[in-house]
A and B are shown apart, each in its own frame.
Chain A
Amino acid sequence: MLTVFLQFLFSGLTVGSVYALVGMGFNIIYNATSIINLAQGEFVVIGGLLMWFFLESCKLPFLLAVALTILSAGLVALIMERLTIRPLKTNDLLIMIMVTVAVAIVMRGLLMFKFGKEPYSFAAFTEGDPLVIGGAVIQLQTLWVLGITGTCILALYAFFNLTIAGKAMRACSFDPTAASLVGIPVSRMIMFSFILSAMVGAIGGIAITPISLMEYDKGPMLAVKGFCAAMMGGLGRGRGAVVGGLTIGVLESMTAGYIHSGLKDAVALLILLSILFFRPAGLFGNAAMQRLKGH
């Protein structure tokens, strides 16, 4: 009984980590621009598929492949921001969100053209026997996923709180006009926020692909769930997304295990809707309430 529960718990934490990373990607961009970038899930897919491409197709060494994948994702985000977000020059959030949806479709189209519709995978980062805790089997890659997520969280926390660039990015989110008055290049910061969130997404994609495979059309669902994670923690609050992502992952895995596997995807959406309806500032915050309330 406990064994099964632990098994579900660990698999939930694994997917949850990726949701947390996607959720943090949402937060990074939302903080700098108040845009909700619905192409966020596509970067996870790009991470997984390009990693496969560099590793299995080009036969590059592991670390080089990782670096190239992350850089490519950043480059895609740079192109996306320069070609579509920046030229818009509008305050209409509606248009901006729709542009991100449109770009996501373009990316999906390109990925399908290059990789087709079949799922891809590559070997786990390290070989070895899986761990057994309380009868539950934990693959080593699971530990990698959790470790990488933790490292990303710490790195982002340090970046936003300890470096000048990170503080400047946060300043843009509070008040772009004031930020530009004190000499912060706001437009460059926005571009940088897109690159950073794409890289975080790609890292998630690289880590999760050996466990759960990756295919071209996983993006929208990942984006929805990452967004749920971000909403759960309160949009724009970095640490909240982590708790949100892990919670959604675990609940999903429990639902699939104990209730019905087809309802797995509905869990996150139900959480999303109930949070939107009852606690739009997220489960942990009400300081952001003022910013969320329209009128």
Chain B
Amino acid sequence: MVYALPNLTDDSYFITLMIFSGINAIVAIGLCILMGSAGQVSLGQAGFYGIGAYASSVLSQSFGLPVVISMLCAAVISGIAAVILAAPSLRLKGHYLAVATLGFGEIIHIILNEFGPGGPSGFGDIPALSAGGFVLTTPAHVAWVVWGILLLLMIFSLNMLNARPGRALRALHGSETACNAMGLDVVGLKIKVFVLSAVYASIAGSLYAHYVSFISPSSFTLFHSVLLLMMVVLGGITTVWGGLVGAVIITLLPETLKAFEELDVLVYGLILTLSLLFLRRGIVPIVTAKIHSLLVRRNA
């Protein structure tokens, strides 16, 4: 199993990549639910990621709160920001939320740049992940925790999507008018999903900050929001597995593309463009459909 991998190797480079994949995957599955199920797009997910990182770091470092508590507080702050952002813009057509989130993400970046501790150069000495006196010291432990949290969130998301909220979301994707007619609170549902995705992003941001112990505003830019979007599109928005697969691929990609050096921006853009044009359904849905059709043919 993937979750057992960190113990199989002492290669710290590999473990670091595992941790970053897991952190990105947490944001990506949240974005997946938002895009695939609620049909909304967010270009400001890095903003929530940044709030998670900064709020949790400041609370635990300057106010001495336990890391777990500050992570939860950060998630609450992100959730509130998400409600404030989503409530008015979700009443408008889809792309208005996209633009509002883009503006939101940039504002967060500017605020962190101007008023965040350390300004544009960021700050360090952020306490490591810990719970009840037990401090995570080795990267392998962090990898376990990150993928553990990811697993829990995956289970939660899959269950939610299979239960009543998930059915409501699928109905929403089918026909919003019909949903309204059936008495579903469409806007309320969309806001809840948006908050959920913001909380996921916030948790991931907190994990990132407490793992790397040094953060600066440059990690929370529009480019990062686009990267997160790319993970989801590449993996496939219709299933949360898509977010996971996409996150792992996009996180590992720069390592394999190192030969391109200065061209990395270009290659990223090309991959996103091509996957939008040719893999619009995403890797996971395409592969599962292939496997499904193979199985059906064999049974027939």
Docked pose: A84 CA to B277 CA in angstroms: 7
Interface 1/0 per residue, A67-87 and B, CB below 8 Å: 000000000000000001001
Range, interface on chain B: 35 or more
Indicate if A292 sits at the interface (CB-CB under 8 A). Answer: yes
Quick check: which of A9-17, A107-115, A122-130, A190-198 contacts chain B, the rest being far away? A107-115
Are A276 and B100 in contact, with the CB atoms below 8 A? yes
Are B110 and A99 in contact, with the CB atoms below 8 A? no
A113 CB, nearest partner CB in chain B, Å: 6
Docked pose: A5 CA to B91 CA in angstroms: 39
The 8 Å CB contact of A272, one of B103, B114, B273, is B103
Are A102 and B100 in contact, with the CB atoms below 8 A? no
Docked pose: A260 CA to B114 CA in angstroms: 10
Within 8 A of A (CB), among B200-235: 222, 226, 229-230, 233
Are B91 and A294 in contact, with the CB atoms below 8 A? yes
Range, interface on chain A: 35 or more
Are A103 and B106 in contact, with the CB atoms below 8 A? no
Indicate if A283 sits at the interface (CB-CB under 8 A). Answer: no
The 8 Å CB contact of B265, one of A103, A112, A228, A263, is A112
Are B39 and A105 in contact, with the CB atoms below 8 A? no
The 8 Å CB contact of B41, one of A84, A98, A265, is A98
Docked pose: A95 CA to B229 CA in angstroms: 11
Q: Which residues of A contact B104 (CB under 8 A)?
A: 269, 273
Given known pairs A106-B269, A273-B103, the reply for A93 and B95 (CB within 8 Å) is yes
Are A102 and B273 in contact, with the CB atoms below 8 A? yes
Are B262 and A112 in contact, with the CB atoms below 8 A? yes
Given known pairs A106-B269, A266-B107, A292-B93, the reply for A99 and B113 (CB within 8 Å) is no
Given known pairs A94-B41, A106-B273, A110-B266, the reply for A277 and B89 (CB within 8 Å) is yes
Given known pairs A99-B276, A109-B265, A276-B92, the reply for A263 and B110 (CB within 8 Å) is yes
Interface 1/0 per residue, A243-254 and B, CB below 8 Å: 000000000000
Given known pairs A102-B272, A105-B269, the reply for A265 and B106 (CB within 8 Å) is yes
A-B pairs, 6 with minimum CB distance = A109-B266, A105-B269, A106-B269, A277-B88, A109-B265, A102-B272
In the assembled complex, 15 residue pairs joining A and B whose CB atoms fall closer than 8 Å, in A order, are A87-B277, A97-B41, A97-B95, A99-B277, A103-B269, A103-B273, A106-B270, A109-B263, A109-B266, A227-B99, A269-B106, A270-B107, A273-B104, A278-B88, A295-B186
